[in-house]
Structure 1
Amino acid sequence: MLNLLQALFYNRDFDWQDEAIFHDLLNDAQFDQIAPQLYILLKNKHRFDQVPYFFQQALKSASLHTLLQNMFVKADMKKVLDRFESLGVETIPFKGPLFSETYYGDLAARRSRDLDILVRPEEIDKAITIIKALGYLHEQKGEPEHFHRIFYRIHPKTNVVSIIELHWHFLRSGTSSLNMDMIWNASVPIPHYHYIHTLSDFHMFYVICLHAWNHELNGWKHFIDVAQMILMLQDSLNYHDLFVFAKQQKTYRRVARTLIIVYHEFPGLNDILPLPLNETQTFWWSPKEIGSRVGLKETLPTFIKRLKQLSDYDNTKQKLIFLKRELLPDPVIMNQVTGTDHSRMPRVIQYMYLYFKRIEYLFLRHDK
């Protein structure tokens, strides 16, 4: 898969007629996740007609499915944004359908499962009232230190679930010095709206890098998003400014690590926009991360990997917060490992069971 992606982002040799290669790609565990992106990238590079017919058909089917799903999400997004606009609540939708259209030029380029919406912290209660009035009555339980709340509704006729992630920040409490006012002040109004904005290209790239790091770059979709933005923005993306900003916000090491990893796998990006960093080691990341699941259910191996990630935090306070979350996780997270049937037990018993599961994993083999 990596060879194909490299060929789509820069001039790497690739055998476009070898059917065996494309059968392997079709069976790749990552294919379903990135098929819509592959379809658009092949189209944009004028390579689509060069790949075998069976691969074309698989990509077309995936793209059509994604288009229908994204049209549904986009329709929901318009209803939500129109309501925020009518009530004068400043809102920034990001990622989702808007990201696909802006940076890929096609609604079907990227599968969108939910709406990510940023509101100002002082308006979060008002925003919750608004979306509940629109039918998003159910809330998914989350960690107290998280930076968003998740609401969903079930459409009565189709049983389709619509999800809204209502953000007031991009990072967990205490893990950055991110000045959200700077984000808001640099945001760009969306045409035909007064209160609805979009992130600037600079801040969108910054958020995509942090998002990829938060997900431990565990899928090619994260690499594609970063590489696609680099390809689209090119010289208008200034790494010096990005790193100065990231250092000010105490997020430099996470942003830098993400880009080091992406450029390590896609070295040809240096010909498009050179990465001005001397470090080239991916450190905690390796290709076997692709397809892995982020979560404490991975137990001990993930725990060890995340200890290595301590070096990606910018100061001691951030590292201590990270360690606390890993060593003594919130009950919401712990229940993902121990199961809800243990949630009523005394906290000390829950932690004992958690570490039993972590030690157990050390001696058991699990498939990804």
Structure 2
Amino acid sequence: MNDETAIVTSSMSNELKFLLKCLSDEKNNQAPQGNEPSLDWNLFLKLARHHRVYPLIYTKLKSASYIPAPIIQSMFYDYQKNTFKMLKLTGEIEKISRMVVENDISTIFLKGPILAADLYGEISQRTSSDIDILVDIDDLEKIEGLLIHMGYAKDEYIETVLNDWKWRHHHLVFFHPENQVKLEIHWRLNPGPAKEPPFSELWQRKQVSSLTTSYPIYGLGNEDLFLFLISHGARHGWSRLRWLVDIDRLYKKDLDWDRINTLLQKYQFMHVAGQTLVLSSHLLHTPLQDAAKQLTLHARSNRLAQEALFYIQQFINLHDEPLPKDIAQYHKKHLFALMSFKNKVLFILSFLHPYFEDTKTLPLPQRLHFLYFPLRPFLWFWRKTRIQEMS
């Protein structure tokens, strides 16, 4: 823990504190001892499931005599079910890796089984609900056609005008109805308009995954992976402890902190890295070296870390839309607080670009879509007025 920083965790439940205690030392496979028998074990199980860390928790607690047998049995069932799921995803990754190699598509796999293998040593120790793949935007059409040929169906959820999909969004979603596998094809690591490393640079710094298949599987280089994981976790409020455990595991690898600091400065993520490391050091007792500790000394990093406890201490699922009004408002403010000054300016300017909603408010022929730029303020005001009249 960094003694020069402080976040207040006194409002955490005893069950959440015990969960963090179990996660804080992956080398110790012994169950913690103390006053644990007085815990609400059903709530503890609910927390482990919500934070997607139940495989690690089961591995550590499966022999603990003070935990009720039904709780252990439930954790074993979850662990077993997750292992089967990860094996299925690994098999699908092998098929996809073969397909992209044979069709000469440069592909980087994100998260999922490769992260489990590379950070945890075995795929059963981490959960994943889908497969995430990063490709060059110029290869999107090609890989989309190949996936459809494999039996995947595209989720046509993106509505776009004047090609704003390229920077407002960052991935396409596909689903295989027979295999029941969800797959996301990314052309950006995060939604725009903020800058991030181009695919060509990420490809140059890629590394071969330890996940064994017949074809090479590439993941992000460790320093790029750090940048991706902190930006992804922060964007989701660290609402799943699984993402913070990923950081703890990655941090303990041999990272090039000079390169990391260069990336953080270039892409305006210094304060996000600080937030992440404050949380990891305080909640998981990640031992910080001087190069990393410097990032945690800023008041802004500590303030952002304290704000993230709002998500960690509650059962918040940001994918369950519509969100409750108070949570939606809090998340909106927190996302803005995470941005650097430069990215805040870009974000505000992005509102001047037409939205698809403008095409519904005033349908125009595609050749006249450029008129949505000068019309945008009026169309926005019209929609706001109509909403107020209806409320």
TM over 0.5: yes
Partner of 2:347: 322
2:191 aligns with one of 149, 172, 176 = 172
Partner of 1:31: 48
Partner of 2:87: 71
Partner of 2:21: 6
Do 1:212 and 1:222's aligned partners in 2 also have CA atoms closer than 8 Å?
A: yes
* 2:246 partner letter: D
Q: Percent identity?
A: 14
Partner of 2:311: 289
Give the TM-score normalised by the residue count of structure 2.
0.73
Matches of 1:356 and 1:184 in 2, distance apart?
A: 52
Do 1:4 and 1:14's aligned partners in 2 also have CA atoms closer than 8 Å?
A: no
1:328 Cα deviation after fit? 10
SS state at 1:292 partner? coil
Do 2:116 and 2:122's aligned partners in 1 also have CA atoms closer than 8 Å?
A: yes
1:14 Cα deviation after fit? 4.6
Partner of 1:83: 99
Matched, 1:109 2:125: yes
Distance change in 2, residues 1:33/1:75 (3 Å): farther
1:218 Cα deviation after fit? 1.4
Partner of 1:49: 63
Matched, 1:119 2:140: no
* 2:286 partner letter: L
Partner of 1:141: 157
1:213 Cα deviation after fit? 1.0
Structure 2's unaligned 5+ residue stretches are: 1-15, 160-164, 363-378
* 1:244 partner letter: T
1:262 Cα deviation after fit? 3.2
Matches of 1:355 and 1:225 in 2, distance apart?
A: 44
Do 1:139 and 1:151's aligned partners in 2 also have CA atoms closer than 8 Å?
A: yes
Do 1:217 and 1:289's aligned partners in 2 also have CA atoms closer than 8 Å?
A: yes
1:227 Cα deviation after fit? 2.1
SS state at 1:128 partner? helix
Matched, 1:306 2:332: yes
Matches of 1:289 and 1:60 in 2, distance apart?
A: 27
1:258 aligns with one of 249, 269, 276 = 276
Matches of 1:195 and 1:42 in 2, distance apart?
A: 31
Matches of 1:170 and 1:116 in 2, distance apart?
A: 10
Matches of 1:275 and 1:134 in 2, distance apart?
A: 47
SS state at 1:49 partner? coil
Matches of 2:45 and 2:214 in 1, distance apart?
A: 44
1:17 Cα deviation after fit? 6.9
Partner of 2:204: 185
1:287-338 CA distances to partner (integer Å, 9 max, x unpaired)? Answer: 331322326634455335433443422233x214434779999568x9xxxx
Q: Determine which structure has more spread, i.e. the larger CA radius of gyration.
A: 2
* 1:146 partner letter: H
Matches of 2:96 and 2:332 in 1, distance apart?
A: 37
Do 1:205 and 1:229's aligned partners in 2 also have CA atoms closer than 8 Å?
A: yes
Give the TM-score normalised by the residue count of structure 1.
0.77
Do 1:104 and 1:228's aligned partners in 2 also have CA atoms closer than 8 Å?
A: yes
Count of aligned pairs between the two proteins: 336
1:354 Cα deviation after fit? 6.5
Greater relative contact order structure (CA < 8 Å, 6+ sep): 2
Matched, 1:269 2:294: no
Partner of 1:243: 261
Partner of 1:95: 111
Do 1:148 and 1:165's aligned partners in 2 also have CA atoms closer than 8 Å?
A: yes
Matches of 1:265 and 1:328 in 2, distance apart?
A: 41
SS state at 2:172 partner? strand
1:207-265 CA distances to partner (integer Å, 9 max, x unpaired)? Answer: 111110121111222222222323x42xx124453222111123333333333333343
1:32-57 CA distances to partner (integer Å, 9 max, x unpaired)? Answer: 2346x3433563xx654235244332
1:68 Cα deviation after fit? 1.5
Matches of 2:45 and 2:353 in 1, distance apart?
A: 39
Distance change in 2, residues 1:351/1:262 (3 Å): farther
Matches of 2:352 and 2:61 in 1, distance apart?
A: 49
Matches of 2:361 and 2:233 in 1, distance apart?
A: 35
Matched, 1:20 2:31: no
Distance change in 2, residues 1:107/1:326 (3 Å): farther
1:186 Cα deviation after fit? 0.7
Distance change in 2, residues 1:219/1:307 (3 Å): same
SS state at 2:109 partner? strand
Matches of 2:306 and 2:70 in 1, distance apart?
A: 37
SS state at 1:281 partner? helix
